[in-house]
Structure 1
Amino acid sequence: MLSGNGVPFGAALVVVVVALISQGEGIIGGREAAPHSRPYMASIQLPEGENLKHECGGFVVADQWVMTAAHCLPAGPNGRKVVLGVHSLSEAEETKQTFDILELHNHPNFLESNYDNDIALIKLDRPFNASEAVAAVDFLRGGGTNPDTDAEVEAAGWGSLDNLGSRPDRLREVVMDVVNPVRCRRSDYFGRKFTGNMICAHKLCPEPCDGPHRKEDTCDGDSGGPLLFNGIVVGITSNGGKKCGQLKKPGIYTIVSHYTEWIDNTMGLQPAATTDPGA
């Protein structure tokens, strides 16, 4: 699913910086989500003439705050808008709410070379109007339990459907399995690019494969979107292989619980109780 800047909703990046980088993540496989079943989803869009074009995903975490990936807006907002209440990018849905970016906070330790600390917070120009189509989602805080190897996790976004860059109009979602971090650190996977701040996940297609893809994954345009475990956000779609859906290049997701203090300080929040999807 999900990314912007050209990076997949969970896919795309550098090879040792080059072979591993791609610019955005999108969903390979998966299915269309039920309209507005994920009311926390945000579409970060760049003005293109009189229209807006989807670049990256994000998700609502408070009445005026959206979380996303730092690589989505590396040079600042530059006129981008945040659209909530979206299912179809093209249709004039009454549920849509469009916002200017009042503040952008990219994590100060974000590394473009390997996308470590790939997390950002956007403050909208006003609080959103809560509805069935727009609502905040809980995210895992420090001390919570992150999913183990083989745990089922979910991602969603408007990212590319294939490596040809075909983009969906409507929100898609995918269920994947967490990959053992030891495997993702192997030299034939990501090597040193993969850090302790990352989760990797994908869904292998059972043999014989029924669909056109060997695995399900996020891809270009999905970046910045959420990775959920038992309904709680545990990760942010960050990067993966140069091509989406490669067997040894699962999508990489930033572990949100590692940034609780920075999130609270940025949003001016008092420490809150842990919401633990593993409890």
Structure 2
Amino acid sequence: MEKTDLLLAAALFVSALISHTEGIMGGREAAPHSRPYMASIQMPEDETMKHECGGFVIADQWVMTAVHCMPTGANGRKVVLGVHSLSEPEETKQTFDILELHNHPDFNSDNFDNDIALIKLDRPINATEAVRAVEYLRAGGTNPTIDQEVETAGWGSLDDLGSRPDKLMEVVVDVFSSGRCGRGDYFGRKFTSNMMCAHRLCPTPCDQSYRKQDSCDGDSGGPLLFNGVAVGITSNGGKKCGQIKKPGIYTIISHYTEWIDSTMALQPTTGPN
């Protein structure tokens, strides 16, 4: 076999490996409706709705997500709850308009600091086995520390090529050193005290069959959970998914208890912000 043929065969083999990754980048398909708090934020596209970002239910009429998912407003987006598959008809599905969108006023688009937003749905959820709020960590609670396992889920890209799953994926990752994430060869000054980073990479010695595990494009706004409690919001999961010096960055929810409480206590309005 000539050299060009060998190179082509190798490229096809690598492409096949990438296209068959199992999940949210190295993850697995979640058990249907095992994460009833998960939300799919969808954008109108032609005659259909397309998944754009994640979110999670925190109260009977409130969903938490990331500011960078909707920095300029709702613009016709809808929130879909109670689904496992984005395409298959499911009786558990509940679809909502966005009545109010509250992006954190101190969000910094340069480094995604304060990347937390609250969506008020147009009506309360119908709580079922497939749709239910998740507890989130409040001020004074204990956040996970270095090397502790946390988990996240979403319908985001399976790889850096942008392959999207139809069904909800999940992955277990490890909390990474904040000090290291703030180093110049990682995120530098863009990494702030309002962020934590996490991913899971190949251990030493590394088996070539091991897949990098991380959040990726489209997972933004979804939850990072520690012992079943939401402690973070996927913030920059769509950047350099699975790369050694670019772990996933998550907004630390417990830093925003006062803002969350005051926002959810606001009087109802007549339309979306």
TM-score (norm 1): 0.85
What are the superposed Cα offsets for residues 34-91 of structure 1, whole Å, 9 maximum, x if unpaired?
0000000000000112211000000000000000000000010000000000100000
Aligned residue number for residue 185 of structure 2: 188
- 1:178 maps to 2:170: no
Aligned residue number for residue 82 of structure 2: 85
RMSD of aligned alpha carbons: 1.3
- 1:32 maps to 2:22: no
State the distance in 2 between where 1:130 and 1:240 align.
29
For 1:203, give the aligned amino acid.
Answer: R
State the distance in 1 between where 2:123 and 2:201 align.
42
What are the superposed Cα offsets for residues 177-216 of structure 1, whole Å, 9 maximum, x if unpaired?
0001011011000000000000000011233335363x20
The DSSP-based 3-state class of the residue aligned with 1:204 is coil
Counting aligned pairs with the same residue, the percent is: 78
Which structure's relative contact order is higher, taking Cα pairs within 8 Å and 6+ residues apart?
1
- 1:268 maps to 2:260: no
Identify, as 1 or 2, the structure richer in helix.
2
For 2:242, give the aligned amino acid.
Answer: G
* Divergent runs of 4+, >6 A: none
The DSSP-based 3-state class of the residue aligned with 2:86 is coil
Compared with structure 1, are the counterparts of its residues 54 and 211 closer, same or farther at alpha carbon in structure 2 (3 Å cutoff)? farther
For 1:101, give the aligned amino acid.
Answer: I
| 2:43 aligns with one of 42, 46, 54 | 46
- 1:224 maps to 2:246: no
Q: CA deviation at 1:248?
A: 0.4
Aligned residue number for residue 147 of structure 1: 144
State the distance in 1 between where 2:102 and 2:39 align.
16
Compared with structure 1, are the counterparts of its residues 89 and 265 closer, same or farther at alpha carbon in structure 2 (3 Å cutoff)? same
Aligned residue number for residue 96 of structure 1: 93
- 1:119 maps to 2:116: yes
Compared with structure 1, are the counterparts of its residues 140 and 55 closer, same or farther at alpha carbon in structure 2 (3 Å cutoff)? same
State the distance in 2 between where 1:58 and 1:132 align.
18
The DSSP-based 3-state class of the residue aligned with 1:83 is strand
Compared with structure 1, are the counterparts of its residues 241 and 97 closer, same or farther at alpha carbon in structure 2 (3 Å cutoff)? closer
Aligned residue number for residue 136 of structure 1: 133
What are the superposed Cα offsets for residues 242-263 of structure 1, whole Å, 9 maximum, x if unpaired?
3211000000000000000000
State the distance in 1 between where 2:82 and 2:107 align.
29
State the distance in 2 between where 1:184 and 1:265 align.
31
State the distance in 2 between where 1:198 and 1:241 align.
15
Q: Where in structure 2 are there 5+ consecutive unaligned residues?
A: 1-22, 267-273
For 1:224, give the aligned amino acid.
Answer: G
Aligned residue number for residue 257 of structure 1: 254
For 1:172, give the aligned amino acid.
Answer: M
For 1:248, give the aligned amino acid.
Answer: K
Compared with structure 1, are the counterparts of its residues 241 and 54 closer, same or farther at alpha carbon in structure 2 (3 Å cutoff)? closer
For 1:102, give the aligned amino acid.
Answer: L
TM-score (norm 2): 0.87
Number of aligned positions between the proteins = 243
The DSSP-based 3-state class of the residue aligned with 1:164 is coil
For 2:35, give the aligned amino acid.
Answer: R
For 1:55, give the aligned amino acid.
Answer: E
State the distance in 2 between where 1:143 and 1:91 align.
41
